[in-house]
Amino acid sequence: MVGLAIASSGCAKRPGMDHVGPLDPCTSLAGYEQDAPWPTECRCPSRACYTPAVGPTAPVLAWRLEGPDWERTYGGDTTGQILISAAGALYVIRNHDELVAVSRNGDELWSYAPLPGEFSGFSGPTAIGRDGTLYVHTFANILAITPQGQLKWEVEPAVGQFGMISLGEDDTLYTIDGVGTVVALSADGDPLWTLPCPNIIDCWTPARGPGGGVVQIGFTGWDEGYAQQVLWRLDPAGGRSEITTIEAQTAGIGGFDARDTLYIIGRIVVTGGDIDRVYALGADGTELWRRDYDSRVVRGPSIDTDGRLYFTRTVEGVSGVETAHLEALNADGTVRWDKPIAEGLSGRPIIDADGNLYLGATLDGQCAVLSLNRDGTERWRFGCSGDRAPILGSMDIDGTLYAVDESGLFAVSHETP
């Protein structure tokens, strides 16, 4: 498959589209630790990957942790998550089976490794709660760890394994078990309620928008030959109400912008190849626009203060060679630019307060941290270890970037005069 196929519909004018000027997509952090520079994946529950910090202009290596203990840290987007607490502790999973706290200077503060056989390994630090408690998602359970590295509580699922965790504004933990049942827990680990997946096929981890509402998407079957995904709004007391349905065999919640517009990435199987579709839905479920791609949408969107959306995707050329593209869309779904960036990209771009973009990339066969201007032109590239794209985990309040490559954990900061 080559290039981009577009099918826009609606382009309906949404509430707030007359707004001019900055609109922070990460203002809703209630339930998470206040003043933490990066308390959850993509910094905020809306998954915008925006930060009010400003990243490096002339990047230098601040420090690196490597060696046998760190070599297996690289291994996927969840194991590459790097959360940052209000006290400045970095939380990262080392070798898939050890939670490590590291200072901003690169000193190891503590590590936590449960007894052998207790579970099959960590899948990533998920969130820092209001009181600084770290909630860790493993392949079998959920752990609550104090800022000092002590186990606070542990919860095992009734079926299968837990999914990722979202925190509600009232400190409720939302996750799913192995058959898609929504599980709500208190901040103390007490079960509040469960909500089975209606079809017991595919129900995905709930997500929270800037308005505080928690939504979930799941596969509900076939309608006149079309696969349907339904979007629900979850009631804090354990109820579920349908918002809308969309066409897709599989689908996931990409994130929310500051106006509570929800972006969903779905895949549709058609004769001759699959189509990836991005839906933009209003808070009431109204379809604002959609875009179809004959290439794989890898991650997105990251969202800036002007409502611009950034998606990474893989495009297969005529010769079969894949290229990683970064595409910028306006808030109404029209293309601002679309550029081949690298042989490979990992995760979503981080966006700083000046609109600069930061990505983990494979460039000319080498690991690199890449920074782009908001028009997609290159600002700088910083080499790292190996030939695969590093996992860019987070940005600190002073603009320092933390990432994981094939050798370990490292920090990229500003060049000092």
* Structure confidence by residue, pLDDT tens digits, 279-309: 999 989 999 999 998 877 778 899 999 999 9
Mean of the pLDDT values across residues 208-237? 78
Q: Where does the pLDDT of residue 327 fall: very low under 50, low under 70, confident under 90, or very high at 90 and above? A: very high
Query: Are 386 and 367 within 8 A, CB to CB?
Result: yes
Using alpha carbons, select from 158, 157, 182, 159 the residue that is nearest to residue 172: 182
Q: Among candidates 266, 323, 342, which has minimal Cα distance to 300?
A: 266
* Assigned superfamily of 59-414: YVTN repeat-like/Quinoprotein amine dehydrogenase (2.130.10.10)
Q: Give the highest mean pLDDT range of 64-73, 123-132, 242-251, 301-310.
A: 301-310
- Please identify which residue in the block is written with the tokens 């400045």: 88
pLDDT at 358 over 70: yes
C-alpha–C-alpha distance, residues 231 and 12, integer Å: 19
Would you state the pLDDT for residue 2?
33
Tokens of 297: 């949408």
Closest alpha carbon to 301 in 262, 251, 353: 262
Weakest-pLDDT range from 6-15, 190-199, 375-384: 6-15
Predicted pLDDT of residue 10: 43
Which CA distances in Å does 84 have to 54, 103, 104, 199, 394? 16, 10, 9, 38, 8
Answer whether the bond into residue 116 is a cis peptide, omega within 30°: no
Give pLDDT tens digits for 154-174.
998 776 677 788 899 999 999
Query: How high is the pLDDT of residue 73?
Result: 65
Q: Over the stretch 393-416, which tens digit does the pLDDT of each residue have? A: 999 999 999 999 989 999 999 876
Q: What's CA 252's distance to the chain center, in Å? A: 11
Average pLDDT for 138-147: 87
Among 24-28, 197-201, 270-274, which stretch is predicted with the lowest mean pLDDT?
197-201
The confidence score (pLDDT) of residue 149 equals 96
Q: What pLDDT sits at residue 316?
A: 79
Domain boundaries, the chain: 59-414
- Indicate the helix (H) or strand (E) that contains 69: none
Report the range of poorest mean pLDDT among 171-185, 202-216, 349-363, 403-417: 202-216
Higher pLDDT, 98 or 43: 43
Q: How much is the pLDDT for 250? A: 81
The band of 21, judged by pLDDT with boundaries at 50, 70 and 90, is very low
The predicted structure's pLDDT at residue 225: 57
Mean residue pLDDT of the chain comes to 85
Statement: residue 272 has pLDDT above 80: no
Return the amino acid letter for 261.
T
Task: Name 123's Cβ contacts closer than 8 Å, sequence gap at least 6.
Answer: 78, 79, 93, 137, 138, 139
Query: In angstroms, rounded to a whole number, what is the distance separating the alpha carbons of residues 29 and 22?
Result: 18
Which comes out higher in pLDDT, residue 220 or 402? 402
Q: Which of 22-26, 79-83, 120-124, 336-340 has the highest mean pLDDT?
A: 336-340
Identify the bridge partners of residue 145 per DSSP, sorted by sequence position: 134, 151
Confidence check: pLDDT of 77 > 50: no
> How do 335-342 and 344-351 pair as beta strands?
unpaired
Q: Cα–Cα distances in Å, from 67 out to 62, 94, 227, 402?
A: 17, 11, 48, 17
**pLDDT(127) > 90:** yes
The pLDDT assigned to 151 comes to 94
Q: 14-17: long-range contacts at Cβ-Cβ below 8 A with a sequence spacing of 24 or more? A: 14/259, 14/261, 14/282, 14/288, 15/259, 15/282, 16/259, 17/259, 17/331, 17/332
Q: What is the pLDDT of residue 92?
A: 92
pLDDT given at position 311: 94
Q: Which residues of 83-104 are buried (b: 16+ CB within 10 A; e: fewer)?
A: bbbeeebbbbbbbbbbbbbbeb
Amino acid 319: pLDDT:
72
Q: What is the Cα–Cα distance from 147 to 151, expressed in whole angstroms?
A: 10
Rounded to an integer, the average pLDDT of 225-239 is 82
Distance CA 87, CA 152 (A): 19
Average pLDDT of span 351-376: 96
Name the band, by pLDDT with cuts 50, 70 and 90, for residue 117.
low
- Given a cut of 80, whether residue 15 has pLDDT beyond it is no
Whether residue 55 has pLDDT greater than 60: yes
> Is 50 exceeded by the pLDDT of residue 5?
no
